[in-house]
Structure 1
Amino acid sequence: MFKQIAAATLMLCAVAGASATTYNLGTLPLAPASYGDFISYGPDTVFEDLFNFSVPDGTLGVSANILAVTSVTNTNAFAYHISDLSYSIWQGNTQIGLTHSGGLIPTYTALAAGSYTVKIAGESDGQFGGIYGVNLAVTPVPEPATYGLMLVGLGLLGLATRRRDAANDKFM
């Protein structure tokens, strides 16, 4: 009987300390607009947040950053902190990108038009919980004609430089 009560209590504690929130963002606009937010949790909470959205053709830039605040009374402790922050990009059941290490460096993933999910997970372990900031930005993918025009322009610059150098050689 004691084992059953202990198991039930342990399960209740595990459920109380876990959290999952889903944010439905709709279609993300192309740059320079973006989606950004600050998310906070109470102390000792394991979380996994889901950000559902769709994009036109483009490149998705994702960053999630821990906002660590040191304690005023104990400079060796954090008043607000999140450990093991990570985020991953999913299309349906297929993971197409992952960042661990606190998410301090934005990742960029080329996306076809469609629906996606960014999962952000971690554990708030500060005295008063934890806070993180998230930013999702979509930039358009250049058309192949754009690259073609750029290459033609570079070729013309090279030709002009070569002709100028040849003209300068005649006078020397």
Structure 2
Amino acid sequence: MKLQSIVLAALLSTAVGGAMAEDYTAPTVAMSLEDGNYSAGFNATHSTGLFTDTFTFSYSGLPGEAVGFAANFKNKKSDINFFSATLNGKDLGVLNFGSDSKVFFEELPVSGLLTLVIKGEAFGSASYAGTIDVTSAVPEPTTYGMLMGGLGVMAFLARRRKQA
């Protein structure tokens, strides 16, 4: 009787184990600054089943706009379907079509800490990878020149009024 209980428990744990959620929380990544943009890469690998992945990124620039994507390409033994994705609580585009699955976003206003959450299902041992870039709104040198010129004109007019 004990042997039957052990075998039954083993079978049930195997059947349930395939459908269990596999959650992954990556350590916070400091985004690197290159050519005026902050960027970082991310990836995850999953066994068969549901998953929720959380990636956190930090950058020290001014508020800006985020662009990025994540993708998986199906092969004979594995695949991923994305269900949903959010960046700081804002819904992102998700596409599952043919042999590829994608999460994509562009021009999302962001600042400080960024939290990307991706939910989906893996079939076989599957992985995906992606990148996120943040461009800060930094004024061009000509903008500063126009600002200084405008302030000079206003100072000139104010001085002229004072003298009149």
TM interval, shorter chain, is 0.5 to 0.7
User: Is residue 31–residue 40 contact of structure 2 (8 Å, CA) maintained in 1?
Assistant: yes
Output aligned runs, 1:3-152, within 5 Å: 13=16, 17-32=20-35, 34-42=39-47, 44-55=48-59, 56=61, 57-69=63-75, 71=76, 79-90=77-88, 95-102=89-96, 104=102, 106-125=104-123, 128-143=124-139
Gaps of 5+ in 2: 1-7, 147-164
TM-superposed deviation, 1:106: 3.3
Give, in whole Å, the separation in 2 of the partners of 1:16 and 1:105: 23
Moved more, 57-66 or 97-106: 97-106
**Which portions of structure 1, spanning 4 or more consecutive aligned residues, are displaced by more than 4 angstroms?**
144-150
Compute the TM-score of the two structures, normalised by the length of structure 1: 0.59
Q: Which has the higher strand share?
A: 2
Give, in whole Å, the separation in 2 of the partners of 1:147 and 1:14: 59
Mark the CA change 1:87 to 1:143 in structure 2 (over 3 Å): closer, same or farther: same
CA RMSD of aligned residues (A): 3.4
Give, in whole Å, the separation in 2 of the partners of 1:84 and 1:36: 18
Compute the TM-score of the two structures, normalised by the length of structure 2: 0.61
